[in-house]
């Protein structure tokens, strides 16, 4: 159960940091209600689909994944902006391709698909068993996904090497 408490603490700190409201009782009560609702939803999801028997170790491995994903999002934003601002120098080359996924559990495959969609210029179209159908605005983005770094990182987050 330590996962639940870490989730509550993390969501509360995140909410306080983003909201900036520290003194208004109504806003604090609504914030507490939203943290409770988010925790309840997360616990229901985890009971069926999450990383079984891994608990706190999942949270400890996330410290490298999220900063890496944030950096990938920024790099992809810059690449897409170049295509918008300088279309003759940086033309788009849309592509759809099916790739194999490394993550094994349903929650890890979901995280992988969402990480692809979060990265500008790429969208997950469909997920089936171990295959994933991806649209990419740029050939370079598809090549990065084919190299498999994102899949390896999600696989590692899942607890595998």
Domains of the chain, residue spans: 2-49, 56-157
Rounded to whole angstroms, the Cα distance separating 120 from 81 reads 10
Q: In this predicted model, what pLDDT tens digit does every residue of 123-155 receive, in sequence order? A: 999 998 889 999 999 998 999 999 989 988 888
Between 98 and 44, name the one with better pLDDT. Answer: 98
Indicate if the alpha-carbon torsion angle 108, 72, 59, 4 is positive or negative.
negative
pLDDT at res. 103 = 66
DSSP 90: S
CATH of 56-157, one of 3.30.420.40, 2.160.10.10, 2.40.160.40, 3.30.1370.10: 3.30.1370.10
Does the predicted model carry a pTM greater than 0.95?
Answer: no
Between 14 and 21, name the one with better pLDDT. Answer: 14
93 contacts 138 by C-beta, under 8 angstroms: yes
Question: Taking phi first (over 0 means left), then psi (-120 to 50 degrees means alpha), and beta for anything else, what does residue 55 get?
Answer: left
Q: What is the mean pLDDT of residues 109-128?
A: 91
pLDDT at res. 135 = 96
Question: 101 pLDDT exceeds 60?
Answer: yes
CA 77 remoteness from chain centre: 16
């Amino acid at each position: 159960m330590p996962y639940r408490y870490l989730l509550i603490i993390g969501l509360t700190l995140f909410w306080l940091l983003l909201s900036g409201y520290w003194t208004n009782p109504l806003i604090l009560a609504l914030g507490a209600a939203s943290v409770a609702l988010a925790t309840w939803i997360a616990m229901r999801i985890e009971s069926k689909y999450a990383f079984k028997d891994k608990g706190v170790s999942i949270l400890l491995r996330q410290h490298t994944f999220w900063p890496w994903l944030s950096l990938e999002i920024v790099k992809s934003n810059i690449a897409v902006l170049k295509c918008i601002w300088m279309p003759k120098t940086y033309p788009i080359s849309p592509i759809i391709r099916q790739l194999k996924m490394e993550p094994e559990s349903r929650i890890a495959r979901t995280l992988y698909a969402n990480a692809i969609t979060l990265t500008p210029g790429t969208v997950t179209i469909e997920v089936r068993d171990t295959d994933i159908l991806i649209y990419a605005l740029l050939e370079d983005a598809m090549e990065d996904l084919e190299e498999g770094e994102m899949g390896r990182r999600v696989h590692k987050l899942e607890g595998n090497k």
